Chains A and B, each alone.
Chain A
Amino acid sequence: MIEETAVSLQEGEARPMNMIEAINDALHVMMGHDPDVVVFGEDVGYFGGVFRATAGLQAKFCKMRVFDTPINECGIIGAAVGMAAYGLRPVPEIQFADYIYPGLDQLISEAARLRYRSAGEFTAPITVRSPFGGGIFGGQTHSQSPEALFTHVSGLKTVIPSTPHDAKGLLIAAIEDNDPVIFFEPKRIYNGPFDGYYDHPSKTWKNYPGGQVPEGYYSIPLGKARTVREGSAMTVLVYGTMVHVAEAVLAEKGVDAEILDLRTLWPLDIEAVEKSVQKTGKCLVIHEATRTSGFGAELVSLVQERCFYHLEAPIERVTGFDTPYPHSLEWAYFPGPVRIGDAVDRLMKE
């Protein structure tokens, strides 16, 4: 189930796209729409990106607006901050979220604080795109989910789409947003949704509702969750790849769960969360990232604080383990159907 905005229906016919195509389309739309949008990063120019997300952009919009960079994340983000201070709307790419750390000082100390410390004189309307998440045998440094590092930073917005449709609309909204946005793209579902059964044949977006993407311009507001499925037995708070895993597990178990795809982690759609948990009385939080101090801890706290008297069971949290992301034991690590199923069973017993 997807929610189409009125704009999208007016703006163009929907056609099937995978998530890469949807992201690429969003970049084409925004570069055509706003001459201040510039796209850069490692291998994004002539080559079109290691995941092809920027394919065709340089040929269409010229090297001055779409270009390759030195391999230096501090420089990529630092230059983006300077460009934003000038008045551009930079959309830098960090090749993998695992490699965003050299740019963290520029993101946390600079981009996130620019508006505040200058009392609005300077702003950082930057969208940092970066593939993230596991499930692809990426090992330690091509699988991480570092979203909690960013949701902890005041001044940053963190967005994670779970369908091609949302990816395009959210990316357009992120680029138009006047605050810095970390836009994490779950690379496991670039080419198709993933239900957590790694031994099943892979699926494509083609016949999936979220794989229908309108042509042209449309945006999905940041800070709004999407109800993947309405239900009354429990609320599932989830985002990225895990949306599809959760959906599959709950369907398999026949549990009438309400599944919320948060889409924007921060600012969180607190109203949607409260409304749902107060209705269902139970809450399951799922993410790929490691458990301790993960974003799930914040979700659990908020639900506990704001829905305590509605809760009928302890809030459950299904996450990656507190280890670096392993290579050979990926499917032992990944919070897949078994781990989620156990938590669902515990919640249903209460």
Chain B
Amino acid sequence: MVDQTGRIGMPRGNLPPLELHVPEPRFRPGDPVDYSWLDIPGAGELPRFDEACEARETMPATLGMVRVLDDKHRAVGPWDPRLDPETLRRILRTMALTRAFDDRMYRGQRQGKTSFYMKCTGEEAVSVAHAYALAGDDMVFPSYRQQGILIARDYPLVEMVNQIYSNRADRLKGRQLPIMYSARDYGFFTISGNLATQFPQAVGWAMASAIKGDTRIATSFVGEGSSAEGDFHAAMTFAAVYNAPVILNVVNNQWAISSFSGFAGAERSTFAARAVGYGIAGLRVDGNDALAVYAATQWAANRARANKGPTLIEHFTYRAEGHSTSDDPSAYRSAHEREEWPLGDPVMRLARHLIALGEWDDERHAAMDREVAEEVKAAAKAAEKNGVLGHGFHHPFHTMFEDVFEDLPWNLREQAEQAIREREAKWPDARGSGAVEEGEGA
């Protein structure tokens, strides 16, 4: 507004000056943490809706929370998926394996074996229990923090490490930043660095499945931070318009690097509540409760498979570690947050549930932890034989130019020849490059 004197921003009359609200998290470094303000509904309280219900009928589930495991580690209420102990133990072991894998790869980065890593600590149930509730050939469009899905689908750990080390066995030929896996045969779509792009892609895949009269469904993940991207809106609109057989997941781990969830709109509403505005079923789920994640996924998968349309699931959880190996969370949040997080640790909650059932005990748990650590160690050792970043073997230079197009155009052929010519000047003794240059007449 410009007043007569040409100045902007002058208050008029008796109106209060407007104020810009800039969200601020409750706790900064050093602050004591008190989560009593957080409204966590009790386990078993939420009714289980008919899988064929109208989207708007799920409104209570978008504001409440699907929770199965109660404070005494019992499975309670209508969302209990009633899994047999053997399945529960497999889910538990896969979550533990995922955590062990993260721990070792994090150390690998600190030891200089790779440039980068991202853990999913505290969020293992979100990916692993989700994967267990899908069919093996349902297509996942993940973000970068669903490594648990690959592990749940028995993707070889050594292939994951090869990718992280960008070595000569890396199936992605060292082109991709570590953890940006691609595993078509395991129904795991190529991960992109550009946030939320996978969301409308998953909807398109689901539309294609419907166009072809297939029975497979798609599922996709974004963090709550990325839900602010325009692609989220595009995906929700397309999913609703075409009644696409897709599960759209928002992992609300409270933090997008240093920005708390308030910067994605969490102060005013839940992320699940956005679903109903689009005409999509919504569920908010305790993301640290593997049984609740399983149950919500199963509900949404059944709905999609029955041509009843898409579901948005908000997984309410906490990012227990830094955003990545390049991040130091002590610079922006209280270290006590993790300790005080009221929904606990997903691995321990499922373990205690199994113990309460008489199907698990501390010794078996300790043995499992040793076993998964050994399994990861063996995979990492095997992968290291193929090289580590910058020190080991990598793919030949010419592969850098392949797969830009199906065929190599003239400019890339010329540039490939240039790169190979430059090699001699850059690495005259060939040791610095560590390359195995097959088929280049090196």
Residues of A with Cβ closer than 8 Å to B?
38, 64-65, 69-70, 72, 74-75, 78-88, 90, 102, 105-106, 109-110, 113-123, 154-155, 157, 177-179, 223, 266-267, 270-271
* Contact present for A78 and B203 (CB under 8 Å): yes
Q: Which of B22-30, B172-180, B384-392 contacts A (4 or more CB under 8 A)?
A: B172-180
B141 touches A82 (CB 8 A): yes
Give Cα distance in the complex from A167 to B438, angstroms. Answer: 43
B37 at the interface (CB under 8 A from A): no
Assess A122 versus B176: contact at CB under 8 Å? Given A72-B234, A106-B197, A223-B409: no
B204 touches A122 (CB 8 A): no
Q: What are 14 inter-chain pairs, A to B, with CB distance below 8 A?
A: A70-B237, A74-B231, A75-B203, A75-B238, A78-B235, A79-B204, A90-B204, A105-B194, A106-B231, A117-B180, A119-B175, A122-B190, A123-B406, A179-B406
14 extra A-B contacts, CB within 8 A, seeds A85-B189, A106-B197, A121-B184: A79-B203, A81-B200, A82-B207, A83-B205, A83-B207, A86-B212, A105-B194, A110-B201, A114-B190, A116-B175, A119-B171, A122-B182, A155-B405, A267-B411
Select which of A70, A80, A116 is within 8 A of B403 by beta carbon: A116
- Expressed in whole angstroms, the minimum distance between the Cβ of B117 and any Cβ of chain A is 18
Contact A75 B234 (CB under 8 A): yes
Report if B125 contacts A (CB, 8 A): no
Expressed in whole angstroms, the Cα–Cα distance for A65 and B207 within the complex equals 11
Q: How far is the CB of A225 from chain B (nearest CB, A)?
A: 13
**Closest chain A CB from B418 CB (angstroms):** 13
Contact A64 B211 (CB under 8 A): yes
CB-defined contacts of A267 to chain B, threshold 8 Å: 405, 409-411
Nearest 6 pairs of A and B residues by beta carbon? A82-B204, A78-B200, A79-B204, A75-B234, A86-B208, A82-B201
Minimum Cβ distance to chain B for residue A62 (Å): 10
* Contact of B199 with A78 in the complex, beta carbons under 8 Å: yes
Whether A72 and B238, one on each chain, are in contact in the complex, defined by CB atoms closer than 8 angstroms, is yes
Contacts known (A117-B172, A121-B182); A78 close to B405, Cβ less than 8 A: no
A207 CA to B203 CA in the complex, in Å?
Answer: 46
Which chain A residues border B139 with CB–CB below 8 Å?
85-86
- Bound-state CA distance A223–B408 (Å) is 12
Q: Interface code B81-110, partner A: CB below 8 Å = 1, 0 otherwise? A: 000000000000000000000000000000
Q: Do B200 and A85 have beta carbons less than 8 Å apart?
A: no
Q: Are B406 and A75 in contact (CB under 8 A)?
A: no
Q: Does B404 contact A (CB under 8 A)?
A: yes
- Contact status of A109 and B192, CB under 8 A, knowing A70-B238, A78-B235, A119-B175: yes
